[in-house]
């Protein structure tokens, strides 16, 4: 039920974004949703429009040739109540949980449009505050996504931890939100490497140049085997890259490709202390080092 409510909220926000742009009939709205591969009925559109009106969103209905056209009243000065501002914060949290940068970017655009229709500076500031995502260079993200689509090899100007910059060559693969954080990453193969790595996009200053276009990624990927308790497996399950090998004596054996060492280590750490076996000795040793580091940090903090 919660998932359905989230999907409904996203569709309503998408409808509102459409109505902020121009007047649309229900048939027009259906076609716009089809472009997003979403089927929607006229009765559902009625329901969404009523929800917008019930939440004091100024939707104007104009009739031409016996057809209703809907739009957002751009002259309206929005003054949200505290409850509505709290609700908008809840919507933002739901969006972040979706971990889809395109959805987040689109809804940010909607909130910015709302902000333009209020004269209260503090309310405007709260509406446009998306934390980390408000500081992202979305034009850079768009360019990186295009390079990933074509699997281009590019040179980037990368900001090092101490603040200096370094040129890095990367064979681009995807732009994605981190599995263990809401940070945006560029994934790909670094020059001289043979595995997928990821770089935080907020540390990429600019794209220096394109080295080569349309180069397919071919990796000989090692398969990793690990064993965890059946109890934690039933709570977490498999991710999209994993395969179930065996369940025996309440121990689950899972196989996954080692195409992203950082993510693999983070995932296996999540299963501790119910992680019983790791086939790759290098990854196993890195996990042990991480656990010892965490243990030392804990001891320093509490003893």
Question: Mind listing the pLDDT tens digit for each residue in 1-13?
Answer: 445 555 676 778 7
Q: What is the mean pLDDT of residues 87-93?
A: 65
Residue 118 lies in a domain: yes
Q: Assign 110 a pLDDT band (cuts: 50, 70, 90).
A: confident
Residues 187, 87 share a domain = no
CA-angle at 197, arms to 263 and 253, nearest 5°: 30
Residue 297 lies in a domain: yes
- Asked if residue 58 lies in contact with residue 73, where contact means CB atoms within 8 angstroms, the answer is yes
pLDDT greater than 80 at residue 82:
no
Q: What is the mean pLDDT of residues 274-291?
A: 91
Nearest to 29 by CA among 46, 54, 50: 46
Q: What is the mean pLDDT of residues 80-105?
A: 67
54 versus 254: which is more confidently predicted?
254
Residue 237 lies in a domain: yes
Hey, how many other C-beta atoms are within 10 angstroms of the C-beta on 108?
18
The pLDDT value recorded for residue 81 is: 57
Residues 253, 193 share a domain = no
Residues 166, 72 share a domain = no
HSE value, Cβ hemisphere, 13 Å, CA-based, for 239:
9
Q: Assign 109 a pLDDT band (cuts: 50, 70, 90).
A: confident
**pLDDT tens-digit map of 145-168:** 999 999 999 999 999 988 899 999
Q: Assign 128 a pLDDT band (cuts: 50, 70, 90).
A: confident
- Output the domain CATH number for residue 198: 2.30.30
Cα 157 from chain centre: 23
Residues 200, 234 share a domain = no
The pLDDT value recorded for residue 7 is: 64
Cα–Cα separations (whole angstroms), residue 236 to 35, 48, 172, 241, 271: 34, 34, 30, 14, 9
Least confident span in 57-61, 116-120, 129-133: 116-120
**Domain boundary, last residue among 170, 185, 212:** 212
Residues 28, 109 share a domain = yes
Residues 249, 149 share a domain = no
Residues 62, 23 share a domain = yes
pLDDT over 70, % of the chain: 84
Residue 218 lies in a domain: no
The pLDDT value recorded for residue 2 is: 46
Residues 121, 24 share a domain = yes
What is the number of domains present in the chain?
3
Residues 116, 74 share a domain = yes
Model pTM score: 0.62
Residue 217 lies in a domain: no
Residues 287, 261 share a domain = yes
**Domain boundary, last residue among 115, 132, 149:** 132
Residue 193 lies in a domain: yes
- Asked if residue 187 lies in contact with residue 145, where contact means CB atoms within 8 angstroms, the answer is no
- Output the domain CATH number for residue 47: 1.10.10.10
Residues 145, 127 share a domain = no
The pLDDT value recorded for residue 58 is: 78
Residue 115 lies in a domain: yes
**Domain boundary, last residue among 212, 233, 258:** 212
Residue 169 lies in a domain: yes
Cα 7 from Cα 98, distance rounded (Å):
10
pLDDT greater than 80 at residue 226:
yes
pLDDT greater than 60 at residue 96:
yes
DSSP percent split of the chain into helix, strand, coil, nearest 5 = 45, 25, 25
**pLDDT tens-digit map of 258-267:** 877 888 888 9
What average pLDDT does the chain have?
84
What is the extent of the structural domain holding 28?
Answer: 2-132
Residues 280, 234 share a domain = yes
pLDDT greater than 60 at residue 87:
no
């Amino acid at each position: 039920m919660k998932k359905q409510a989230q999907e409904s909220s996203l569709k309503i926000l998408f409808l509102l974004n459409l109505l902020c742009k121009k007047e649309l009939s229900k048939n027009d709205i259906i076609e716009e949703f089809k472009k997003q591969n979403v089927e929607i009925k006229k009765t559902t559109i009625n329901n969404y429009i009523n929800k917008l009106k019930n939440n004091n969103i100024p939707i104007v209905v104009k009739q031409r040739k016996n057809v209703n056209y809907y739009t957002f009243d751009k002259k309206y000065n929005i003054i949200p109540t505290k409850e509505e501002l709290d609700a908008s914060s809840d919507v933002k949290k739901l969006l972040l949980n979706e971990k889809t940068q395109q959805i987040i970017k689109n809804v940010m655009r909607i909130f910015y449009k709302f902000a333009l229709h209020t004269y209260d500076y503090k309310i405007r500031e709260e509406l446009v505050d998306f934390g980390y995502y408000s500081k992202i260079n979305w034009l850079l993200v768009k360019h990186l996504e295009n390079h990933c689509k074509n699997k281009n090899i590019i040179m980037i100007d990368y900001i090092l931890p101490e603040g200096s910059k370094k040129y890095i060559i990367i064979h681009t693969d995807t732009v994605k939100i981190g599995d263990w954080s809401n940070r945006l990453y560029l994934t790909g193969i670094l020059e001289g490497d043979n595995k997928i790595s990821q770089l935080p996009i907020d540390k990429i200053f600019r794209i220096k140049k394109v080295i080569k276009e349309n180069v397919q990624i071919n990796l000989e990927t090692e398969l990793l085997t690990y064993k965890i308790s059946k109890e934690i497996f039933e709570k977490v399950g498999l991710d999209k890259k994993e395969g179930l090998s065996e369940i025996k004596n309440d121990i689950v054996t899972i196989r996954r490709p080692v195409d992203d060492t950082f993510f693999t280590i983070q995932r296996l750490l999540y299963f501790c202390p119910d992680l019983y076996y790791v086939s790759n000795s290098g990854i196993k040793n890195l996990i042990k080092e991480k656990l010892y580091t965490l243990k030392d940090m804990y001891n320093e903090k509490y003893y």
